[in-house]
Structure 1
Amino acid sequence: MWWSFLLLLGINSVTSEIKRNNYYLNIDNNNKLIDIKSNESFDHIDLSGLNIKAISRSVFDNFQNTKSIDLSNNSFAKLPEFIFTNLTKLETLKLSNNNFDKFENTFVGLDNLKTLDISHNPLLHLRRSYFFGLTKNTNIITEGNNFYTLSTDLFENPFLRDTIDSSEITNDDDINDAIKADERYNSYSEITSDESLDSSINPSLKIKVCKNIKNILTSVEELFNNESLPDNCVLGKINHNSKELDLENLKLHKFTKNWYKLGNYPFSQISFASNDITELTPELLNDLPSSIKTISLIYNKITKINNSTIENNHIKKILLGFNELHEIQENAFLNTKLIELFISDNKLDNLGFVKTLPSSIVSLNLGNNLFKNIPDNIFSNLGKLMFLPLYNNQLININEKAFEGLTSLLDLLLDNNKIEKIEPNAFSSLKSIKSINLHNNKIEILNDGLFKDLNPIDINLSRNKIKNITKYTFDGLSSSSLRDLYLNSNEIENIEAESFVKVPRRILDLGNNKIKKIIPGVFNLRYLKELHLENNLLTTIDGDSYIGLPKLRHLYLSSNKIGNIKKGSMKYLRSIFTISLASNPIGQFNNGDLYGLPKTKGHYLDIHGTSVKCIQGGLFDDA
């Protein structure tokens, strides 16, 4: 048969000829347009609605004078590269309602194109060089697309050597900041390191844990190989890596004297977690050998610690979190040399016991209790204290001498309280402070110079009720130290000029406030890397709003009310890497709107949820 002969010749498709207007279309059985036959030239070629899936590279070679081509409502996923190169007089090109998700050298040669319609395609990202060949005279219709990103090199020549991707460059300032952040813990690690015996615990060691019928622990001792386990005893658990003796979940209530009989073995920790212990007694802790450094009593039922109960100079860390403590008497820990005391998640409401804590304390966790105030000078004896978590309490006011004497403090955690007022010099003693966390309080006013002469790495003031920022609010902060400043989720409406000068150096978060406008001169932050302004009330991007941010790399403006971008407003953002404009009512990008942004590989704008309907070809030009 004739068709078998064609197959032998390698011809496996059949074309059909369709007449449209005054030309004939040859379309094969794979819905590929092979050529267009006509003895005439046309201003307009209509190829819409034919379910065409592919097209030959040379289809338009004989139509150099054509001004309009309609390829809409087909099934194209891609077009051959340089397909329109000879159509130098083309003014309108319709590619809407197809399956395009990218373009590669599609528009080269279209110097006179005025309208490109790519609406209603599955384009998610406008990537590098997709629009190479288009000029500022081209209006690109994009309605009905759900774009996520728009690359700043969208119109760039793909054949030029790629510029260095600045996302891969590590900035010296970033390295230095990271070093500073790590250094603050070095001295703490040295102080709290376990100096117990280097010798390991015999891996074959077995331990019997014995208690009486009233769940009183009577002994913890070695179980020898030829010995059977008594009825009132259970096998003890050993964590050899941490040298911990695990006495958890045994329903222990009390202890007899001299219950610990493993003095020959270098255990450094004992965990009594999740038992039924209701009080600390001399029998529990005072007869332990010097190798024991850490005691965990978390998740018990301890309600009170009496004075002078604990007399042990060897124990360095006691964990008492998640009990039912409502009182710790003064002098309770006087006869110890503790370095760490963990008493969070209890029911304490009085800090009186703190003034008699040993001066050796380096870390004191008081979080998630019921403290309502901090008495003056209560911490004055703790000159070595580095970490002070006071989160999740009921603090209302911070007095001027609340933290007097804490000259070594590194981290102060005051988040999730009810703080309304902080007196002007409340932090003046914190000469070593690196982190202040005031997240989720009720602060309305920040006294001018509250942080003066401090050297913190980060300050968190998010989720408060702050309304105004003045040029004196952060006056006096060390310009070489403050890295991150969080003011998000407040009620900030106004920011004075010169409010942020030199600090912070890395992140400034002003997101989720009520800011309507950024006036010129607000920022003079030479080293800032990230600026968050998302979820505010900004309506436009003004030309001089972002002067003073020469090294800014990430600008977040999502979920505002930005409807337009004033020409030249981006020209000062020469180092920017990403800009988020997501979920703003931006309907069009005009020529010159994004002029000044670096057209470098990897740089992009997040435009998800903006409903952009038109992009002009010169949006990155000095139009």
Structure 2
Amino acid sequence: MHLLYAFLVLLSLSYGFHPTCPGRCSCDSVYSVQCYRLTELPSTLPSTTKKLYISHSKIPRLQMSSFTQMLALEDFILLASGTESVENDTFKTLSTLKTLELCKNNMLSSLVSLQSLMLDDNNIESVAGPLALPHLKRLSMENNRLHLVPASFFTSLQSLQFLSFSGNFLTKIPINLPKSLLSLKMERNQLKVVRFRDLKHLEHLSHLYLSENSLSSIDGAQILANLTTLELSQNQVQMLPLRLPARLQKLDISNNLIQRVTAQDFHDLRDLKHLFLDNNTVSLFEAGALQMCSQLSNLALEQNLLLSIPLRLPGTLARLDLKGNAIQNIAEMELKDLKQLQVLNLRNNKISALDLKVLEGLPRLRHLYLDGNPWNCTCSLVRAREILKAKGTDVRGGQCAAPAEQQGESWMSSKKIMRQCEHHLHLTEKNKETKKKSKLEEHSRINMDDDYYDYEID
């Protein structure tokens, strides 16, 4: 009897014997259980189990009732166990669960017709391939914890058109991406460089999103001949990208470190419609730099270091944003070609006056933002207001900085300024009438003298 007891003790030490340890399982401690060749999840586990590892089994379905007693479970690993489906809310009761791995199963094998798969916000740390979904067109794995995506992952995804890995920890764009891709989203990762030669097979790619990474330069994107949208906002790019695709329609390179804009940067971009250069440090904008962009309608240059409005902008512009620069004057020659301009944002600059000829040269202007400037509220500015009202332009004005008696008044709505200018206008018109009358009388006398002499000649 003593010999048998000693044997059982040894057996419990070597094989994880535990009074509630299920068959085909090894309970390494009161916290960890490993099982092999099961046909269902174990129904009796130590209540203290924190880690459950199951491998090489035949468990076709996971359901909530199997987990209701696992209140302490933190790690659940199910490896190569033929699992094909998971019941809704299966893991709902596992409030302590930290790790969930379902590798090498057949959970999607029956979904051969699946076209859209969204796996956002799941704390997924790794993926393995291939993912056997031949008809899948849209895959999103945003806001997970991926550091690497193996090339084999995409082997069976040859119909994929829309792919998003935004909000992960990827340091490079995955290779072997499906040739069928139309859109690739890689925002909010840790990219430091983009090797466009690894993407040259993506001949249909039209949208590429690379915002909120750590990119310092972009070169060679022209290899993506059909790219129409390129977003690079919130990186560390110091120069405008070299060799951009000729078909590009939208370029967002806002919130970077760009200082200069030259004609060479945009020489071949004849299809460009939207250009976002706001929140950079642009101080030099070469005259005519965008003249070749013959379809440009939206230009954003807010929050830069411009001292004046760039010269020879495309006449196709419908919106021009210049908020938050250091512009002091608006010259007629700067805006004279913008006959299609509908929105002009000049907020928070250093402008004190408006040239009436500038306003008359903008026939389609509908929205004008002027607040945040040190306005010199003369009657000339009030006349500008009347011109704008007559044009039907919605004007968001600002407060007067001068003269002293007008400080704090709104030049767009102050009745006090209006009364003063009306009085000034009345005096001016009265003086004009007096001068005109004097000239007429003088001219009349001359004519009478002429008549007199004419009569005398006869």
Q: TM-score, normalised by structure 1?
A: 0.51
- The change in CA–CA distance for 1:364 and 1:390 in structure 2 (over 3 A counts) is same
Distance in 1, matches of 2:53 and 2:279, equals: 47
Q: Are 2:221 and 1:402 equivalent residues in the alignment?
A: yes
CA deviation profile, 1:573-615 (whole Å, cap 9, x unmatched): 563422222134255999xxxxxxxxxxxxx97458x995963
**Residue in structure 2 matched with residue 616 of structure 1 by the alignment:** 421
2-structure distance, mates of 1:251, 1:503: 60
Partner residue, 2:212:
392
The structure where strand makes up a greater share of residues is 1
Match of 2:302 in 1: 488
Match of 2:452 in 1: none
User: What's the counterpart of residue 373 of structure 1?
Assistant: 193
| 1:247-258 to 2 correspondences below 5 Å | 253-254=77-78, 256-258=80-82
Counterpart residue number, 2:332: 520
CA deviations 1:7-27 (Å, max 9, x no partner) are: xxxxxxxxxxxxxxxxxxxxx
Tell me by how many angstroms 1:301 deviates: 3.7
Greater relative contact order (Cα < 8 A, sep 6+): 1
Task: Please point out which of 551, 557, 562 is paired with 2:370.
Answer: 557
Query: 1:33 maps to what in 2?
Result: none
Distance 1:330 1:584, change over 3 A: farther
Counterparts in 2 of 1:520 and 1:220: CA distance versus 1, 3 Å: same
Map of 1:415 onto structure 2? 233
Any idea what SS the aligned residue of 1:491 has?
A: coil
Instruction: Name the SS for the 2:151 alignment partner.
Output: coil
Letter in 1 for 2:139: I
Distance in 1 between residues matched to 2:150 and 2:317, nearest whole Å: 43
Asked if the contact 2:124/2:145 (under 8 Å) is kept, the reply is yes
After TM superposition, give the deviation of residue 549 of structure 1 in Å.
1.3
Alpha-carbon deviation of 1:446?
1.9
- How far apart, in 2, do the equivalents of 1:394 and 1:412 lie? 16
Q: SS where residue 375 of structure 2 aligns?
A: coil
Aligned partners of 2:112, 2:156: CA distance in 1, in Å?
A: 15
Shift of 1:332: 3.0
Deviations 1:139-176 (A, max 9, x none): xxxxxxxxxxxxxxxxxxxxxxxxxxxxxxxxxxxxxx
Relative distance call for 1:509 and 1:230 in structure 2 (3 A) is closer
**What percentage of aligned pairs have identical amino acids?**
21
Please point out which of 260, 274, 291 is paired with 1:445: 260
Given the alignment of the two structures, is residue 459 of structure 1 paired with residue 243 of structure 2, yes or no?
A: no
Residue deviations 1:384-418, cap 9 Å, x none?
2233221110111111x1352240x3432211111
Q: Are residues 1:326 and 2:131 paired?
A: no
- Tell me whether 444-453 or 510-519 shows the greater mean CA deviation: 444-453
Distance in 1 between residues matched to 2:314 and 2:348, nearest whole Å: 23
Letter in 1 for 2:294: S
Match 1:472 to one of 261, 266, 288: 288
Deviations 1:45-65 (A, max 9, x none): xxxxxxxxxxxxxxxxxxxxx
1:513: how far off?
0.6
TM-score normalized by structure 2?
A: 0.67
- The reply on whether 1:311 has 2:140 as its aligned counterpart is no
In structure 2, the residue corresponding to 1:617 is in which secondary structure?
Answer: helix
Q: CA deviation at 1:444?
A: 0.9
Q: Post-superposition shift, 1:535?
A: 0.2
Number of residue pairs matched by the alignment:
362
Contact 2:211 2:232 in 1 (8 A): yes
Contact 2:214–2:235 (Cα < 8 Å) also in 1? yes
Rounded to whole Å, the distance in 1 between the matches of 2:68 and 2:362 is 69
Greater helix share, 1 or 2? 2
How far residue 526 of structure 1 moved from its aligned partner, in angstroms, is: 1.4
Q: Would the aligned equivalents of 1:373 and 1:396 in 2 still touch at CA under 8 Å?
A: yes
Structure 1 position 541 matched with structure 2 position 359: no
**In the alignment, which residue of structure 1 is the partner of 2:168?**
346
Matched, 1:260 2:84: yes
Over the residues paired in the alignment, what is the CA RMSD in angstroms? 4.0
SS at match of 2:420: strand
* Residue 556 (structure 1) shift: 1.2
**1:527 Cα deviation after fit:** 1.4
User: What amino acid is aligned across from residue 325 of structure 1 in structure 2?
Assistant: L
Instruction: Tell me: CA distance 1:435–1:332, structure 2 relative to 1, closer, same or farther (3 Å).
Output: same
What per-residue deviation string (whole Å, max 9, x for no partner) do you get for residues 337-369 of structure 1?
A: 222222111111122x24x10011122110001
Q: Deviations over 1:159-194 (max 9, x none)?
A: xxxxxxxxxxxxxxxxxxxxxxxxxxxxxxxxxxxx
